[in-house]
Amino acid sequence: MKIKITTFIKLMITLFFCVSFLFSCSKGSTNPEKKQKEQVLHEIPIEYENFRKIIGWVSDEEILVHAGEGNKDTLYLFNLFDGKMTKVHEANAIILTAVISDDKQKIFVQSVGDENRELKIINLSGTVEQQTTIETNGYLNINWNPVDQNNLFISYYQLEEEMVVQKWDISTNQITSVESSSLTPVWYSANLYLFVDNLDDFSLQTGELYMGDIRTNKVTHIRNQVTDFYLNNDTFITFSPSDFNKDELLLNRQYPFMVDNGFITVPKVSMNDRLIFPYLTQSSREQAVYGVIAKESTQLEVKSGEFQFSKLNFDSKKIEPIVDLPDNAPISISKDGNYSLYGWRYEYMIDLEKQELYPLIKPE
């Protein structure tokens, strides 16, 4: 009797481990399928001729898409992984400019129709929170304050010669002039901003860095030999032609602000003797910086050149290539750092893990 009981117990233990093993295998086999399903990128379900551009990231899964037909433009939220399209804003006019706020909660929209030139601030539900008019019919350069979401810079050329730089306070709907000798001032904090004066040098080989204060409307000279820069949170990188090699551009990382903290030299790119600065992107504070970097010094009016999406390692002073690119075009990485938009209309997606490039809109 004892032998039978012992045998029975052993049998039950064996069955228990077999069931556990099968359950474990079954669970293990379904997880990768679920993960794989979540990583499938969908193409945007819009006819190619109606696709204007992708505005940028709204979240790690959603992007803002600009589409249009005739003189009627529409903004959509598009989920990259389930393919869902949601209409956000429809304008009976041409949308010239749309920019997402740093907190991803608001959208600046510039629309131009037969009788109106409107500026609007809408939320992700499409509700208009503020609006005003502007004189120009041209494209606006917009820089949204990352600290105070109620302030943004608006700049443009008036009569093709006069530079107009203004601040729009959304909370009061007031537009005021800003002191800047650059069309592209960039917010540094709630009240301070940076810009480069290239001193009328068409080649962009020379420049001086300035800091302005919207509270006093005064500017202060910061540093010479800065021809352009990249700024994202605490990341500040200046661009300057190399003093040692005419075919190189020096990228100098500074942290804290204006304290040198590593540099990288990259091949110089130009067009008609004018410098073309590299496109950079960073997901969040203290994360890696990526750029579109030429494989060799290139004059774009002579040849198109070869470019790569690369990681910039300022500690080792090395460029770490990730994937070849067909052109020197803008990039924008997702906050989680897994994907990057790429292209003149952000029409491609770079998968950093797989090191592959995918089209987001089906070509004709």
Give 9-66 pLDDT, tens digit per residue: 444 444 444 434 444 444 443 333 333 445 799 999 999 999 999 999 999 999 999 9
80 CB-contact burial (10 Å; exposed 0-12 / middle 13-18 / buried 19+)? buried
**Percent of residues, the chain, with pLDDT higher than 70:** 89
Domain membership flag for residue 353: no
In a domain, 295, yes or no: yes
Q: So what's the pLDDT on residue 361? A: 96
Helix H or strand E encompassing 38:
helix 2-38
Range of the domain at 274: 232-328
* Residue-wise pLDDT tens digits, 70-115: 999 999 999 999 999 999 999 999 999 999 999 999 999 999 987 7
Assigned domain for 150 exists: no
pLDDT at residue 161 in the model: 77
Give the model's pLDDT for residue 110.
Answer: 98
Domain-located, residue 281: yes
- pLDDT of 4 over the 90 cut: no
Share of the chain above pLDDT 90, in %: 82
52 assigned to some structural domain: no
pLDDT mean over 155-174: 93
Please write the tens of the pLDDT for every residue from 190-247: 999 999 999 999 999 999 999 999 999 999 999 999 999 999 988 999 999 999 999 9
The answer to the question of residue 362 being in a domain is: no
Q: Which residue has the higher pLDDT, 284 or 186?
A: 186
Confidence band, pLDDT 50/70/90 cuts, at residue 6: very low
pLDDT of residue 38: 53
The pLDDT value recorded for residue 25 is 44
Domain-embedded: residue 241: yes
In this prediction, residue 364 has a pLDDT band, given cuts at 50, 70 and 90, of confident
Assign 173 a pLDDT band (cuts: 50, 70, 90): very high
Reported as a pLDDT band with limits 50, 70 and 90, residue 285 is confident
Least confident of 102-116, 182-196, 287-301: 102-116
* Number of domains comprising the chain: 1
pTM: 0.88
* Res 134: pLDDT: 92
Per-residue pLDDT of 321-339, as tens digits, reads 999 999 999 999 999 999 9
| Residue 216 domain-assigned (yes or no) | no
* DSSP per-residue letters across 3-36: HHHHHHHHHHHHHHHHHHHHHHHHHHHHHHHHHH
Helix (H), strand (E) counts: the chain: 1, 31
Question: Using H for helix, E for strand and C for coil, what is the string for 110-173?
Answer: EEECCCCEEEEEEECCCCEEEEEECCCCCCCEEEECCCCCCEEEEEEEECCCEEEEEEEECCCC
